[in-house]
Structure 1
Amino acid sequence: MAAPTDCSLIATDLDGTLLRGDDTFSDRSRAALALAARAGARHLVVTGRPAPRVRPLLEDLGVTGLAVCGQGAQVYEAGTDRLLWSVTLDRELAETALGKIEAEVGELYAAVDQDGVDGLTLIEPGYLMPHPTLPAVRVERRDDLWVRPISKVLLRHPHLTDDELTATARSVVGSLATVTMSGPGTVELQPCGVTKATGLALAAEHLGLERGRTVAFGDMPNDVPMFHWAAHGVAMANAHPELKAVADEVTTSNEDDGVAVVLERLFGGAEPSVPPHALPRPGSGRVSR
């Protein structure tokens, strides 16, 4: 599907998409977002990171409006540092889901993101943070993970791949939670029915923006619902095959300013030299939404 020529909403994931591997935004990406803003388009960050872990990145971008955080569990207003909407994962259901998964695959290591603008990321013994720049507090035992309301649970297995762990978790968790994979070493349980698409839809409605004029960018399977919701989905060259399979277009990698490549084309910036794999693939993407 061709990208809308009157795009009014740009939804971007962060890790592996708009962010480079060193957790910074390139000058080219900043300039492309500014170009889109001058054309009247709104930019929404839509990320798996919880609001407290997103706050400094939004400040760096100069964002004072909304952001969708926690895989869609939070709609955060940066300018006022408050959550306009949030949903928590029932802690008893989370424990039950963990037990069901461990009955299939053996011992897991778990972490949680607490709800709220000051929520912490707690990790149990044995859990290694997949993203070393993100702060976390180690607890002594699993029961300590449940001391406050949580927005999601993060899982790691000592031997299974992310794809294997995700598939097994989905097969046994059922309606207890939504299972998603959001990055290397990051398999997550979130409230049932909550996805990036549900959070993006809430934020778009709040802003009075239409899904039919939305272009979304991402790199991992947790972005699939967002691509189904948006009018046009753009996967990064470094994206997971599951996301590329439903994308309307594949751009260059996050390290090669893939978001900027598309925004410059859509909003009339300088035409960069785009490698063939970054162009829309004939017959690719979804037949309908």
Structure 2
Amino acid sequence: MAVPPAYSLVATDLDGTLLRGDDTLSDRSLAALARVTRAGARHLVVTGRPAPRVRPLLDTLGGTGLAVCGQGAQLYDAGTDRLLWSVTLDRELAETALGKIEAEVGQAYAAVDQDGVRGLTLIEPGYLMPHPTLPAVRVERRDDLWCAPISKVLLRHPSLSDDELATTARLVVGSLATVTMSGPGTVELQPCGITKATGLALAAEHLRLAPERAVAFGDMPNDIPMFDWAAHGVAMAGAHPELKAVADEITLSNEDDGVAVVLERLFPDGVRQ
């Protein structure tokens, strides 16, 4: 009789984790995720990307199920192309938070992800997209960022490091928003109390899966709440030190198929749920 796998839920971040630097998935990673499916477990993408920027990747994965998007602010059903759940960031609070941050650090540059499955990423003059492959629409002035409901604000500073910007933002923003750091050049403001863990917990409840049988993979501080929620957290070799400090295990880099290496161990062929 086949021994069931230890985990019934695999949660993976995308950028810097499952995806290679060119935004592609390796054949080895795809094969490892197929092992997860054959074992009867579920794979959930848990990403800071908004739903419209995740759909093409889910097509590559053959996914028709759920994905946690927008740092946990969106629960997206790929099969029906709709949001089962979403939380928006109040635009007046976002403007206030941004003003408080700039009062401390000087001019920063901002972008927003609009809510909805057709939402756009808008960037103000001076903002450079950290992922140049992701589509964005440049607006003429900052006020244009607030023209429709948003799920989050993305910030960059011309001289401060991401860690310095995030630290200052947390000190001055308070309860106006949750501050996260999700990748190089990516400090974000999202609805207060919303994290990857809140979105992942909602998805797991929908699927009737428990954190005690969940393994999570990530590379940045925004993945810490997800690691706290899951039974086992795996950080990538190039992960931020804050995430490595709370990880249960450190694997190889995303370029070296670090996720696949662990999944091949946890889900050997022939194991069934």
SS in structure 2 at match of 1:182: strand
Flag as ranges the 4+ runs of structure 1 deviating above 3 A. none
State the Cα RMSD in Å: 1.1
**1:112, 1:171 → 2: CA distance?**
21
1:39 aligns with: 39
Aligned residue type for 2:163: D
Aligned residue type for 2:268: G
1:219 equivalenced with 2:249 (yes/no):
no
1:47: Cα distance to partner? Answer: 0.1
- Asked whether the equivalents of residues 46 and 196 of structure 2 are also in contact (C-alpha less than 8 Å), the reply is yes
Aligned residue type for 1:217: F
- Identity, in percent, stands at 86
**2:30, 2:107 → 1: CA distance?**
43
2:153 aligns with: 153
**1:160, 1:66 → 2: CA distance?**
36
- Asked whether the equivalents of residues 123 and 139 of structure 2 are also in contact (C-alpha less than 8 Å), the reply is yes
1:76: Cα distance to partner? Answer: 0.1
1:23 aligns with: 23
**2:5, 2:206 → 1: CA distance?**
23
1:95: Cα distance to partner? Answer: 0.3
SS in structure 2 at match of 1:255: coil
Alignment deviations for residues 185-210 of structure 1 (CA, whole Å, 9 cap, x no partner): 00000000000000000000000001
Aligned residues: 267
1:5: Cα distance to partner? Answer: 4.9
SS in structure 2 at match of 1:254: coil
**1:269, 1:165 → 2: CA distance?**
45
1:105 aligns with: 105
- Asked whether the equivalents of residues 46 and 72 of structure 2 are also in contact (C-alpha less than 8 Å), the reply is yes
The 5 Å alignment of 1:1-289 reads 5-269=5-269
**2:109, 2:27 → 1: CA distance?**
38
**1:226, 1:267 → 2: CA distance?**
21
- Asked whether the equivalents of residues 195 and 222 of structure 2 are also in contact (C-alpha less than 8 Å), the reply is yes
**2:259, 2:45 → 1: CA distance?**
12
Aligned residue type for 2:222: N
**2:104, 2:5 → 1: CA distance?**
48
Aligned residue type for 1:213: R
SS in structure 1 at match of 2:6: coil
**1:55, 1:35 → 2: CA distance?**
22
Aligned residue type for 1:212: E
Aligned residue type for 2:168: T
TM-score (norm 2): 0.97
Alignment deviations for residues 93-116 of structure 1 (CA, whole Å, 9 cap, x no partner): 000000000000000100000000
**1:226, 1:240 → 2: CA distance?**
15
Aligned residue type for 1:253: S
**1:125, 1:268 → 2: CA distance?**
50
Aligned residue type for 1:247: A
- Asked whether the equivalents of residues 107 and 157 of structure 2 are also in contact (C-alpha less than 8 Å), the reply is yes
Alignment deviations for residues 114-136 of structure 1 (CA, whole Å, 9 cap, x no partner): 00000000000000001000000
1:36: Cα distance to partner? Answer: 1.2
Structure 1 residue runs without a partner (length 5+)? 271-289
SS in structure 1 at match of 2:85: strand
